[in-house]
Amino acid sequence: MKNTISQRVADFLKNFPPFSFLKQRDLELISEQITIIYKEKDSVVFAENEETHNSFYVVHKGAVALRGNHENEILDMCDEGDIFGLRPLIANENYKMEARTYEESILYAIPISVFKPYALENKAVGNFLIESFASNTLNPFSKSHRGKLYGEESLEADTKLLDLQEVKYSKKIVSCIATTTAKEAAEIMRHKNVGAILVVEETFPIGIITDKDLRNKIVTGEFQITTPVSEIMTSPVITYPTKMTVTQAQIAMMKSDISHLCLTIDGTSNSKAVGMLSKHDVMVSIGNNPAVLLREIKRAKKFKKIKQIRASIIHLLQGYLDQNIPMTLITKIISELNDACTKQVIAIVLKKTETSPPVKFSWLALGSQGRSEQLLLTDQDNALIYEDVPEELEAETKKYFLELSARINKGLFEIGYDYCPAEMMASNPNWCMSLSDYKTKIHHWITNTGKNEVLLSFIFFDYSLSFGDTELVNNLSDFIFEDVKANPTFYIHLVSGALQSQSPTGFFREFLLEQDGAHKDFFNIKNRALMPLADAARVLILSHSVKSISNTAERFEKLAELEPNNSELYTACAYSYKALLKFRTKQGLLHNDSGQYIALNTLSKAEKIKLKSTFKTIKELQEIIRVRFNPSNIL
């Protein structure tokens, strides 16, 4: 019987081959016979060698992974509109692969008996099926992006170590001196066919001129072509030592947003320039790497595209962990990429929004994303600050930003960030406010501190700017430091909050496991090990009034510098934090979740010992805080 749902199904199917070749009427008839199936994440649709079902499947929402005889090898990933489980039905054999949902999914099961007559009758449908079977992927139309999506091709063994290889830089330095004219410099560059020329004094680099400088300063007519290069060069030059890996070079370029690095003997601009490294050099030899991904993110025009790139990011992460690349480096790269995804989502939303923002605003990442510690996809925590507006415009302005935020939150959801269960998102009126409203709110937390206010401060104070205006954020940070300084009792609350985190081990030094719920007998690495460290780092760094470091490990490193007598402990904390984060990330990748809960029986003896050794550090750290922020010492 034709009804609203069968029409809804038909409307979806008609966008995808082979259904797109069918007549609307036929498609509706087929849709009436379909069963809609809901599958939780990681549940089996059919197993290898299982007898065939009487239906094949189309993914409506979510994703399904097809795996071959070696369980873990993903042969194909089906997402919206892809068909799977059809060939065995036509070939009359058992399933050759296992189909398991990769995300929570909704599938349409189409009975083969209903579909077969159309496949036989309609030539276009038949051809499509023959082609897709022959190419051994289930949907030839999606074949083109498949390699990129899961990086099978680019992460082959031989390219794996490339990121950690030392860079090959050009040793022939193209240079000129300060009095060379712009015209002469350009001629040298043309002759040597390079995009940048170094300006040297003796052999020390004092500046650099790139194609971009010539374009922006000379071609625009701003300077004469006879101008000496010293007037138009970029100075000082950003220099690095020659011993750097491909990955480090990329980060250096990303960090300063430059296309050329100058390599000197000791890495400073006070030693001899020995080489030049261009972005191009770095990119040429590598396929799936951070810089390429970053460029792809920046070019993405649709959320869906970013979601695909995110799959490559996860793959990259897996590769880095497998190769035991230092955690500091991994977190930097991956958070940089995650950050770029967020930025791009906002950029896309802004582009699609007809009216441009009425005033300046900043988009803040909170929690783990704010601390640049987010490796795997977790929930989104964010907030928006906008410039103060005259009272009569406030309501209108707030409305604008709330609507904008709702679209950004939805976009982030679509690329894989779940909604925050506590609604700590910019689309919530409490987290989308003008600068002065934030100040009022934060002042309230600091002066009327209760349990909730501490909790809010913990999450909020780890913010970092993802997009928009820097001024607003700096202004807010300054306000917070001033206000906290003026109200020292606030520390007492923060400290008691930080000490409240549950201890990771019990009396007999055994692990404390979850008592009930879905994660019964698992170890909660986030609440019991990572949070105590992050909370303590925040209190300490706040007491030193250090701005703009929000990463926990970096905070400890800074603390080690600031308090030489505790430097050993803080260094140990930084190390422990990184080790724990790595644990969590590995577990998360293994189970395709956030890695918050660890099954202890999957850990080796060595891993357990390593885990436990970090707990000792946590205890010592909490002791220091307890003593230092003892109410009687502060007031």
Partner 1 sequence: MGFFTKIKNFIVELWGVSDTSLNEQILKDIDSTRFVVLDTETTGFDYENDRILCIGAIVLQNYRIPIQESLEIYIQQEHYNKATAQIHGILRASVLDRPNELEALQQLLDFVGDSIIVAHHTSFDITMINKALERNGLPRLKNKTIDTAILYKKTLLNSPLLDRKDSYSLDDLADKFDISKKDRHTAMGDAYITAIAFLKILNKLKEKKGFNFNNYLNIDKK
Specify whether the CB–CB gap between 539 and 495 falls below 8 A: yes
Q: What residues are paired with 205 via a beta bridge?
A: 200
Distance CA 328, CA 308 (A): 25
Among 20, 33, 477, 503, binds partner 1 (CB under 8 A): 33
Q: How many helices (H) and strands (E) does the chain have?
A: 27, 20
Q: Which is nearer to partner 1, 258 or 420 (CB)?
A: 420
Q: Of the candidates 26, 32, 80, 394, which one interacts with partner 1 according to CB under 8 A?
A: 32
Shortest distance in whole angstroms from residue 383 CB to partner 1: 13
Segment contacting partner 1 (CB under 8 A): 181-189, 329-337, 348-356, 418-426? Answer: 418-426
By CB under 8 A, residue 1 contacts partner 1: yes
Closest approach of partner 1 to the CB of residue 602, in Å? 19
**What is the torsion angle, in degrees rounded to the nearest 10, for the CA atoms of residue 329, residue 332, residue 333 and residue 339?**
170
21 binds partner 1 (CB under 8 A): no
Give φ, ψ of 197 to 5 degrees. -130, 140
| Residue 61 bridge partners (DSSP) | 106
Binding mask 446-465 toward partner 1 (x if CB under 8 A, else -) reads -----xx--xx---------
Residue 372: alpha-carbon gap to chain centroid: 9
Residue 25 interacts with partner 1 (CB under 8 A): yes or no: no
Give the chain's largest Cα–Cα span: 87
Q: Which of residues 133 and 419 has its CB atom nearest to partner 1 in the complex?
A: 419
Location of structure tokens 């025009």: 301
Stretch that binds partner 1, among 226-234, 276-284, 422-430, 477-485 (CB under 8 A): 422-430
354: contact with partner 1 by CB under 8 A: no
In total, the chain counts a number of residues equal to 635
For strand 523-524 and strand 597-598, is the pairing parallel, antiparallel, or unpaired? Answer: antiparallel
**Residue in the structure block whose two tokens are 């689309």:** 427
Query: What is the C-alpha separation between 64 and 480, in angstroms, rounded?
Result: 47
Q: CB 381 → partner 1: shortest distance, Å?
A: 11
Shortest distance in whole angstroms from residue 205 CB to partner 1: 52
Residue 576 Cβ vs partner 1, minimum distance, rounded to whole Å? 28
Q: Which range of residues in 103-111, 167-175, 306-314, 384-392 is near partner 1 by CB under 8 A?
A: 103-111
Cα dist. 395→336, 388, 400, 402, 429 in Å? 35, 12, 9, 10, 11
Nearer to partner 1, 451 or 619 (CB): 451
Under the binding rule (CB under 8 A), the answer on residue 348 touching partner 1 is no
The token pair at 509 is 């030094």
Q: Interface residues for partner 1 in 58-87 (CB under 8 A)?
A: 61
| Residue 619 contacts partner 1 per CB under 8 A | no
| Integer Rg of the chain from CA | 29
Where helices occur in 262-302 by DSSP H, the ranges are 279-284, 290-299
- Considering only residues 395 to 414 of the shown chain, the ones binding partner 1 according to CB under 8 A are 413
Residues 513-542, one symbol each (x = binds partner 1 by CB under 8 A, - = not), give ---xxxx-----------------------
Subset of 111-150 contacting partner 1 (CB under 8 A):
none
Q: What are the CB-based long-range contacts (under 8 Å, 24+) for 117-121?
A: 118/22, 118/26, 118/30, 119/18, 119/90
State the DSSP code for 505: B
Q: Quick check: 627 binds partner 1 (CB under 8 A)?
A: no
Tell which one of 233, 313, 375, 424 touches partner 1 (CB under 8 A).
424
165 binds partner 1 (CB under 8 A): no
CB of 1 to partner 1, least distance (A): 7
Measured from the CB atom, is 411 or 468 closer to partner 1? 411
One-letter-per-residue 3-state SS of 39-79 = ECCCCEEECCCCCCCCEEEEEEECCEEEECCCCCCEEEEEC
- CB of 427: closest distance to partner 1 in angstroms? 10
Site residues, partner 1 (CB under 8 A): 1, 3-6, 8-9, 11, 31-40, 61, 104, 106, 109, 413, 419, 421-424, 428, 430, 451-452, 455-456, 516-519
